Structure 1
Amino acid sequence: MTYLVNDSADFVDESIEGFVAANADLVRRVHGGVVRATRTPPGQVAVVIGGGSGHYPAFAGLVGQGLAHGAAMGNIFASPSAQQIYSVARAAASDAGVLLSFGNYAGDVLNFGIAEERLKADGIPCRCFAVTDDVCSGPADKAGERRGIAGDLTVFRAAALAAAEGKSLDAVHDFASHANDRTRSFGVAFSGCTLPGASEPLFTVPESRMGVGMGIHGEQGIEEVDMPRADDLADMLVDRLLGERPNDNQRAASPRVGVMLNGLGSVKYEELFVLYRRVSQRLEQAGLTVVQPEVGELVTSFEMAGVSLTLFWLDDALEAAWTAPATTPAYRRGGVPLEGEPRDADDFAAIHEQAAPPSSEASRSDAAGVLAVIEAIQARIEAEADDLGKLDAISGDGDHGIGMTTGTRAALAAARRAVEKGCGAGTVLTRAGDAWANEAGGTSGALWGLGLRCVGTAIGDSDSVAAAAVVQGIRDATDAIMRLGGADIGDKTMLDAMQPFANALAEQVEAGTCLREAWRHAAKHSEQAAAATAALKPRKGRAKNHSEKSVGHADPGAVSFAMIVASTATTLESIHEDVT
């Protein structure tokens, strides 16, 4: 369990605040995470990493000379929001652009992808790379679908060296990909972990048993076996990874490998050394030369008991990256002189201008109507949060209700501030969407933040809300969510309720129906489509690993979407629709 907590809602912020205070010579805090204490030199690509909090030293502990330029950190085990990633990347970026790198999880892929698009729109070159080293999370012929676990360090190190050498953004990306292709990890778990403020563990493993291939958030593994002796576990880890040796033309007569034996939180150093004793023997017997092994806590999961082994198959370039000097709060190798100019207060000025942009009187009038809509959404989600959580727990992790509540509360607060400042209707929606994504994090936060931003952009601040603009915004949101989220109709996601709504709304408006009536009609289609997801098996997200459990139960994301558009229908009369 987590012993030292003030308020669980403040845990992440207070942890980051303490981390920065303890490492002020190396890092500075920015909205959404941390960056190096020195500016990124001109011409050097900034490597920005990130993921959910709760995995220290990943990700903040890896920011410093010779490694990452910045780290975006989300809530516990939740992806950072696109806004957090964008903010950290803006603070770290130089003229050479930004490489965003992270583990291959749905929420991270979505949020980092959205941030990439926003950075490019600002004229900042940017590329994303997702680490896929976990051999138990997918077959070798579908390695691109695997999770990223402790092996992300090898990819981050490779990207950092390429960046420090002044290579282009594309070259940095390609070298990171090369490192990922030659990194393999395999993990096991003996017990679960308890989140800050929670009374029960997030997941459990039966006493004297071991989950093989479990993820760092408790994701389902490939089997459960009796707890082995340390030597037997070492043999299991090494044998599986040797069986996944990269099949290429770079095998040397005496292959060289970087090795990481990682403790997930409760397995401490002395135990890890017992395990590594046998690991090193087996690798030597296999004819491998171990280069600068790492034994310790590299990617953790609170007090989760478990370990993972990573093999990094080296060539000359990758060995240079693996052995290069680095100085970060949690990872040090060699000595690296600080480079770049010291940061000052101007480096941390707000990236986004929060003053009200120009708007028409008609749009400002409709802004009050938009606020009423968001108030109705927040009230409906607040009332339904427990049921949404129970529905999500059937095949997911049960946090959908909490995430939606956090997001709608933040959206409402941001909308109120925007109205008070005299913003137009479009800005009220975009700021509400950004706040939703920023505070809720995870997949649902990213999707709703993206959706509101698309609709707000389409509506704009120049005129009264027009039905055609709303339809275009809904279409843009649907297309963006499908493109960036990677889901399609029939995958049992929010899209299964969203696309029928978008189609019905467009059909009605194009036929001349007023927005209020068209919306009510489309909301009914959405409700029916959400209910119909009960018959589907999930093909995306965490629920896909428990697909049979979810059959007979509607998708939580589709259900919450239908709830929101239904509650919106009752408040649209407060918006003065422009029918021209």
Structure 2
Amino acid sequence: MTRLFNRPSDFASELIEGFVAAYSDKVRQVPGGVVRNTRSKQGEVAVVIGGGSGHYPAFSGLVGQGLAHGAAMGNLFASPSARQVYSVSRAADNGGGVILSFGNYAGDVLHFGMAKERLNSEGIRCEVLPVTDDISSAPIEERHKRRGIAGDLTVFKTAAAAAEAGYDFDATLAVARRANERTRSLGVAFSGCTLPGASQPLFEVAANKMALGMGIHGEPGIEDCDIPTADELAERLVATLLEELPEGVESPRGQRVTVLLNGLGSVKYEELFVVYRRVAQLLGDAGVEVIEPEVGELVTSFDMAGLSLTLFWLDEELERLWHAPAATPAFRKGEITLAEPLEATELEIPDLDVVTPASSESRRAAGCVLSALEAAERVVLANVEKLGRIDAIAGDGDHGIGMERGVTAAVEKARELEARDAGAGTLLTRAADAWADRAGGTSGALWGVALGALGTAIGDEHAPDAKRVSEGVRRALEGIIHFGKASPGDKTMVDALIPFHETLEREVEGGAELAQAWRKAAEAAHRAAEESAHLVPKIGRARPLAEKSVGTPDPGAISLALIVAAVGEVISKGTPVTA
């Protein structure tokens, strides 16, 4: 368990503070994460990585010369928000574009994708590269759905070495994609991990059992079996990985590979060496030559007991890039000429706290929007446990906690912005950022998208009318579908949001006042949320245990229905917009 902490809610921010204090010669803290504290070449492609905290040395420990230029750091096991990724990317940018790379988890895909679009809109070329090395998480024909685990390192290292060698943007991205295609990993778990302040593990493995393929956040594996000997485990991992060779590799014999044997938190180095002894023998027997292996902790999960094996199938170029020197707090290779430290003025950190001028009508409406957010907070806080229980049927049970974090942060920010005379649009978009920042994960990203789209549609010039609100809901739906990739029937919040939007739009176009239109739309959302119990989830963390969720409504749809109903009561009591 995690024993040393102050307030659990401060753990992620305090670990960053301590990490930077320990390695100030290599890294510097910026809003959202850390960047190199050394000067990079002007025009060099920047490789920005990231994910949830709790996986050290991923991700902050991999920032430094020869490896990442920056790392966006989310809360514990929660993806960094789009705002955090954007901030770190702006600080890390050298004028050659930014490549964002991360493990392939839904929340990370959403937030990094949103940051990419914002960077591109500002003229900074940016692409995303999710790492998909975990062979247990999806079949080869659906490789794009696979998770990223310890194989993150091979992709990050290849991309960064290419950038440091002077590759242009397209060449750097191409070689990083090739590294991803030629990386395969498989992990096992013997026990779960306990987050700071928690009395029970986040997930568990049955006593005296091993979960083959379990993910680093407790995602389901493919088989539970008795704990084997070290040699038997090595044989199982190597045999399984050799069954799936990357395209262009006809046989293992004669190939050169880099091997990563990664400890997940509480498996000791001595145990890893015992396992690696047999791994090396088996690969030698198969005719595979091992090049510069790594045995140790590379991507962890607090005190999780487990390990993973990664094979990175090299070609001449990939091998040269793997050999390239690097010097980061947690990863060193070869000898490197130390770059000059950065001056504080050389980092371009955008001011994200500007309040734009607003009309008096919009400032008055901002108070009404705050009341609506406060109503959303009350209904979420009253249903946190219920939402968690629903989510635990087939997910990881954290939906209620995530909604609580998000809506509480949104209300705090909205109160601050109202006191600073912000308009309704600015108040809502900044509340959206706060929700996404604090909540993290998929639901945090999607609520950030929704509130941000609504705030943009409302704006700061006029008192929002019913048509403008309806237009904002339409944009929110479009944004959620665009970033979340969900379709009707996938058992997500979209299944409640579509009927809400359609009913609201129809009523407003028919001349109804907002209070009446919103009430009917909220009723439609409630019915659709309850009917989602009959659906089978097709995306997200509930997908691997899809059948378990049949008969239980989707937690995202339920939370949406609860919130729009609560907001509807505020509108009915004192309509916060013009008719």
Coarse TM-score class (shorter-chain normalised): over 0.9
Map of 1:378 onto structure 2: 377
Distance 1:2 1:249, change over 3 A: closer
SS at structure 2 position matched to 1:571: helix
Map of 1:537 onto structure 2: 536
Q: Distance in 2 between matches of 1:71 and 1:251?
A: 37
Q: Distance in 1 between matches of 2:250 and 2:11?
A: 46
Q: Distance in 2 between matches of 1:341 and 1:169?
A: 25
Map of 1:566 onto structure 2: 565
Aligned residue type for 1:264? L
Alignment of 1:419-434 (within 5 A): 419-434=418-433
Deviation string 1:475-494 (CA, Å, 9 cap, x unpaired) is 11111111111111101001
| Count of residue pairs the alignment pairs up | 578
Alignment of 1:89-108 (within 5 A): 89-108=89-108
SS at structure 2 position matched to 1:136: coil
SS at structure 2 position matched to 1:137: coil
Query: Quick check: 1:406 aligned with 2:405?
Result: yes
Aligned residue type for 2:231? D
Map of 1:134 onto structure 2: 134
Aligned residue type for 2:501? A
Deviation string 1:22-48 (CA, Å, 9 cap, x unpaired) is 100000011111110024422111100
Q: Distance in 2 between matches of 1:102 and 1:469?
A: 37
Map of 2:503 onto structure 1: 504
Q: Is the CA contact (8 Å cut-off) linking 2:132 and 2:146 kept in structure 1?
A: yes
Q: Is the CA contact (8 Å cut-off) linking 2:209 and 2:226 kept in structure 1?
A: yes
Distance 1:252 1:398, change over 3 A: closer
SS at structure 1 position matched to 2:293: strand
Q: Is the CA contact (8 Å cut-off) linking 2:531 and 2:553 kept in structure 1?
A: yes
Aligned residue type for 1:90? R
Alignment of 1:18-57 (within 5 A): 18-57=18-57
Aligned residue type for 1:418? L
Q: Distance in 2 between matches of 1:353 and 1:247?
A: 45
Aligned residue type for 1:361? S
Identical-residue share of aligned pairs (%)? 57
Q: Is the CA contact (8 Å cut-off) linking 1:370 and 1:575 kept in structure 2?
A: no
SS at structure 2 position matched to 1:194: coil
Q: Distance in 2 between matches of 1:236 and 1:20?
A: 40
SS at structure 1 position matched to 2:291: strand
Alignment of 1:1-16 (within 5 A): 1-16=1-16
Q: CA deviation at 1:253?
A: 6.8
Distance 1:170 1:472, change over 3 A: farther
Deviation string 1:402-451 (CA, Å, 9 cap, x unpaired) is 11111111100111111111111100100000000011111111110111
SS at structure 2 position matched to 1:128: strand
Aligned residue type for 1:329? P
**Aligned CA-pair RMSD:** 1.4
Range that drifts further, 560-569 or 156-165: 156-165
Q: Distance in 2 between matches of 1:575 and 1:365?
A: 12
Map of 1:456 onto structure 2: 455
Q: CA deviation at 1:340?
A: 5.6
Aligned residue type for 1:48? V
Deviation string 1:165-218 (CA, Å, 9 cap, x unpaired) is 232323222211100000000111111111111111112222221111111111
Map of 1:393 onto structure 2: 392
Q: Is the CA contact (8 Å cut-off) linking 2:450 and 2:473 kept in structure 1?
A: yes
Query: Quick check: 1:491 aligned with 2:487?
Result: no
Map of 1:524 onto structure 2: 523
Q: Distance in 2 between matches of 1:333 and 1:41?
A: 20
Aligned residue type for 1:435? A
Q: Distance in 2 between matches of 1:242 and 1:346?
A: 47
Distance 1:244 1:250, change over 3 A: closer
Map of 2:219 onto structure 1: 219
Alignment of 1:71-150 (within 5 A): 71-150=71-150
Q: CA deviation at 1:346?
A: 6.2
Map of 1:173 onto structure 2: 173
Q: Distance in 2 between matches of 1:431 and 1:204?
A: 38
Q: Is the CA contact (8 Å cut-off) linking 2:90 and 2:348 kept in structure 1?
A: no
Q: Distance in 1 between matches of 2:341 and 2:267?
A: 40
Map of 1:197 onto structure 2: 197
Q: CA deviation at 1:356?
A: 2.2
SS at structure 2 position matched to 1:387: helix
Distance 1:515 1:55, change over 3 A: same
Range that drifts further, 394-403 or 565-574: 565-574
Alignment of 1:249-264 (within 5 A): 254-264=254-264
Q: Is the CA contact (8 Å cut-off) linking 2:253 and 2:288 kept in structure 1?
A: no
Q: CA deviation at 1:345?
A: 5.2
Aligned residue type for 1:516? A
Map of 1:364 onto structure 2: 363
Alignment of 1:159-170 (within 5 A): 159-170=159-170
Q: Is the CA contact (8 Å cut-off) linking 1:189 and 1:210 kept in structure 2?
A: yes
Structure 2 unaligned regions, length at least 5? none
Range that drifts further, 340-349 or 279-288: 340-349
Map of 1:284 onto structure 2: 284
Q: Is the CA contact (8 Å cut-off) linking 1:127 and 1:169 kept in structure 2?
A: no
Q: Is the CA contact (8 Å cut-off) linking 2:522 and 2:561 kept in structure 1?
A: yes
Q: CA deviation at 1:347?
A: 2.6
Q: CA deviation at 1:324?
A: 0.8
Q: Distance in 1 between matches of 2:376 and 2:218?
A: 32
Q: Distance in 1 between matches of 2:331 and 2:38?
A: 17
Distance 1:125 1:232, change over 3 A: same
Map of 1:549 onto structure 2: 548
Map of 1:266 onto structure 2: 266
Deviation string 1:373-429 (CA, Å, 9 cap, x unpaired) is 111111111111111111111111111111111111110011111111111110010
SS at structure 1 position matched to 2:292: strand
Distance 1:214 1:252, change over 3 A: closer
Q: Is the CA contact (8 Å cut-off) linking 1:50 and 1:101 kept in structure 2?
A: yes
Map of 1:416 onto structure 2: 415
Q: CA deviation at 1:303?
A: 1.0
What TM-score results when the alignment is normalised by the length of structure 1? 0.97
Q: CA deviation at 1:249?
A: 5.9
Q: CA deviation at 1:337?
A: 2.0
Distance 1:395 1:405, change over 3 A: same
Map of 1:247 onto structure 2: 247
Structure 1 unaligned regions, length at least 5? none
Deviation string 1:205-249 (CA, Å, 9 cap, x unpaired) is 222211111111111111111111111111111111111111316
Q: CA deviation at 1:95?
A: 1.4
Q: Distance in 1 between matches of 2:575 and 2:351?
A: 27
Q: CA deviation at 1:341?
A: 5.6
Q: CA deviation at 1:75?
A: 1.2
SS at structure 2 position matched to 1:541: coil
Q: Is the CA contact (8 Å cut-off) linking 2:496 and 2:526 kept in structure 1?
A: yes
Map of 1:58 onto structure 2: 58
Q: Is the CA contact (8 Å cut-off) linking 2:491 and 2:535 kept in structure 1?
A: yes
What TM-score results when the alignment is normalised by the length of structure 2? 0.97
Q: Distance in 2 between matches of 1:22 and 1:364?
A: 45
Deviation string 1:465-513 (CA, Å, 9 cap, x unpaired) is 0222211111111111111111111010010001110111111111111
Q: Distance in 2 between matches of 1:162 and 1:279?
A: 29
